[in-house]
Amino acid sequence: MATYLYRIGRFAYRRKGTVLSLWIAILVLFGVGAATLSGPTTDSFSIPGTPAQQTQDLMAERFPNADDPMNALSARYVFAAPDGQTLDEPQNMAAMNEVLAAVRGIDRVAPGAKVDPVAATPEQQPALLVDPVTANAGLVEQMKAAARQQGGTEEAALADAAALSPLSLDRTVGYVTVPFQGSITDVDTALTDQIAAAADIGRSAGLNVQVSGTAAAEAEMPGGLTELIGMGVAAVVLALTFGSLVAAGLPLISAVIGVGIGSLGITIATGFADLSSMTPTLAIMIGLAVAIDYSLFIVSRFRHEITVTADRAEAAGRAVGTAGSAVVFAGLTVIVALVALSVVGIPFLSAMGYAAAFTVFIAVLIAITLLPAILGLFGNKAFAGRVPGVKANDPEADTDKPGAAQRYIGWVTRKPLIPLVAGILILGIAALPALNLRLALPTEATGDPQTSSRQAYDLVDEAFGPGRNGPLLVVADAREANMSAPAAFGAVVQDLYEHDEVVNAQIVAVNEAGDTAQIMVTPKSGPSEAATMDLVADLRAGEADLEARTGISYGITGQTALEGDVSETLQSALVPYLAVVVGLAFILLMLVFRSILVPLTATLGFLLSVLATFGATVAIFQEGWGGLISNPQPLVSFMPIFLIGVVFGLAMDYQVFLVTRMREDY
């Protein structure tokens, strides 16, 4: 293979115009394809087969008009009265109704919510937007009437009303939920600006008005900013490495083109497959990392070769034939590991793996074809633009005065046990915090305390209790019940109440056939707390016994349960994915190097690196060590998968590059 790569590198250097034109044409072609063939993405992270998703599917079947909680578009306006006042005072009632009047004027508010309550017909009443004081009064009367019909007590009716009421018991905090047309992928700046403008009306009148919900989602960091920061850091490191601004720019140019083509390819794929909006994230992270690495090693080898031969085309051929071989092997290993994401059986993770693998494939092609062409384009100026104060020596050149790196390697080879034991100890200690790893999808509870959505969440949490922000939805199926459906639903409610962590459970909807009910369960704990998912597990564990006694079955869904199941599924997939990645990498490296020791050291080093990375990430971002993070929270559920992908890509790259060079010299 080295011979073929040598010829490719030499050809690309000499026929730089042809190769550059070809890659420009590919970039343009992908750009046109992305502009004309792309489709919408989704922010839904449901996983087929999870208990919550199965229940959601049942609800969609039995309640055809029910919203998907993972995609429904809504905003919740939370009103807090000034100190010493309540929301039912006339001036505060007037302020809230001014806000709601402005909300009704937002174009994308659901038609039923746009109707003015004064002119509404009885059929339109359920969908109206009314202030929390009025809504509470209506709810209390409704619950009392239902209790009288069913022979219940007024005390129970008031308790049920309080569990659903949008007005706090002390009447100082209330909220209104506004439905919008579309899904969460349709949110744009124009919509969020209109939502915020309506809230400002209430603030001007003296109320504390905060807004949360999918329609009011606030971006905490502009898209692409983190990548730009990473590119800036890489540029500084490359400039110091090569001592040349031009040479430092070559890997960056290659990386940008490679990731650009990869991202455009993913955009094209959205027109043919249902892809998550998160799909490009892993591809960009790994694509930038490996593309810079691949180009860095080839440019570094080229710098050495031009000290050996005056023929720069020959130097490019040798660089691609030697370092390029390592690039191909490393790229193949990373691609196989990314494709292996499909083995965990999670569709959007499989899509992420395929997208990232495609981007790495493009990065490899660019490194062995486009990069030597760019070197040919710059010719003798490839290492121009010297960085003042930086002396760029060829680390492979023979010299009587070995540099710091060479002295370090000499010490390591003479006394290998010292750095080996020290490295293992340091990585092992760094990995210890990973034992406390907790995963969760981002929610308003984990948002920046300065955002309106987080402040809205906190107001509801303090005024109504943590469970109000994350209720559970139980779907009870009485088609096989050995009693009447109403009695079966009552048995489920009674069973739910037997759990200490349940504050309230009540039927909120029954389907037209009368055989399936939605039961709203308010837990004591919030949506991001471990106690909530523990409650979900307990409720699910008790379902079999209830079904055996009554014939009625139930499942638990809602946004809290759906997101909790996603997080648990992702966490349970970590070990199998790691095992597959390590196993495949071991086999590939064994075939490439025909050795047991080399793949063994590579896989052990990778495992230690991953565990240390997890530990450091948990310590800083989850536990808040060092005070670097003002709002420590559980890690985003996808982060460990991303970390495994990025760390694996880099670890395998460095192992292959170093060992390939060792074997070449040996």
For residue 558, give the nearest of 518, 530, 516 by alpha carbon: 518
Average pLDDT over residues 274-280: 81
Asked if the model's pLDDT at residue 65 lies above 60, the reply is yes
Q: Concatenate the DSSP letters of all residues of 435-467 into one string.
A: GG--EE---GGGS-TTSHHHHHHHHHHHHH-GG
**What is the spatial distance between Cα 173 and Cα 87, in angstroms, rounded to a whole number?**
7
Q: Check residue 124 and give its pLDDT.
A: 77
Q: What is the pLDDT of residue 221?
A: 45
Nearest-angstrom CA–CA distance, 656 and 454:
46
Domains of the chain: 1-37+243-388 (1.20.1640.10), 52-70+472-557 (3.30.70.100), 72-221 (no CATH), 404-436+569-666 (no CATH)
Main-chain dihedrals φ then ψ at residue 546, nearest 5 degrees = -65, -40
Q: What are phi and psi of 180, to 5 degrees?
A: -125, 155
CA 372 to the chain's CA centroid: 36
Looking at residues 427-439, what average pLDDT do you find? 92
Query: Percentage of residues in the chain with pLDDT exceeding 90?
Result: 45
DSSP state of 42: B
Secondary structure string (H, E, C) spanning 173-230: EEEEEEEEEEEHHHCCHHHHHHHHHHHHHHHHCCCEEEEECHHHCCCCCCCCHHHHHH
Indicate if the alpha-carbon torsion angle 584, 586, 591, 592 is positive or negative. Answer: positive
Ramachandran angles phi, psi of 565, nearest 5°: -65, -40
pLDDT at position 572, please? 86
CA distance 623 to 620: 6
pLDDT over threshold 90, residue 385: no
Give the pLDDT confidence of 163-207 residue by residue, as tens digits: 889 999 999 999 999 999 887 777 888 999 999 999 999 999 999
**Range in 90-99, 399-408, 448-457, 526-535 the model is least confident about:** 399-408
Confidence at residue 400, expressed as pLDDT on a 0 to 100 scale: 59
pLDDT for 220 equals: 46
Chain segment 24-49, per-residue pLDDT in tens: 999 999 999 999 998 877 766 667 88
**521-560 pLDDT, tens digit each:** 999 998 888 899 999 999 999 999 999 999 999 999 988 8
287-315 mean pLDDT: 89
Cβ neighbours, 10 Å, residue 576? 13
Q: Which of 22-31, 275-284, 603-612 has the lowest mean pLDDT?
A: 275-284
pLDDT band at residue 71 using 50, 70 and 90 as cut-offs = low
**pLDDT band at residue 394 under the 50/70/90 scheme:** low
As a whole number of angstroms, the distance between CA 647 and CA 645 comes to 6
Tell me the two tokens of residue 284.
Answer: 């960009």
pLDDT single digits (tens) 322-360: 888 889 988 988 898 888 888 777 888 888 889 999 999
Q: What is the pTM of this model?
A: 0.77
User: 99 or 405: whose pLDDT is higher?
Assistant: 99
Element of type H or E holding 406: helix 404-414
Sign of the four-CA dihedral 571, 572, 577, 582: positive
Q: Three-class SS of residue 607?
A: helix
* Residue 218 confidence (pLDDT): 58
* pLDDT-wise least confident of 40-44, 484-488, 577-581: 40-44
pLDDT at residue 199 in the model = 96
Residue 369 φ/ψ, nearest 5 degrees: -125, -60
Given a cut of 90, whether residue 282 has pLDDT beyond it is no
pLDDT, tens digit, 9 for 90 and up, residues 72-124: 789 999 999 999 999 999 999 999 999 999 999 998 999 988 888 887 787 77
Are 497 and 505 in contact by the 8 Å Cβ rule? The answer is: yes
Q: What is the mean pLDDT of the chain?
A: 87
The contacts of residue 272 (CB under 8 Å, 6+ apart) are 37, 39
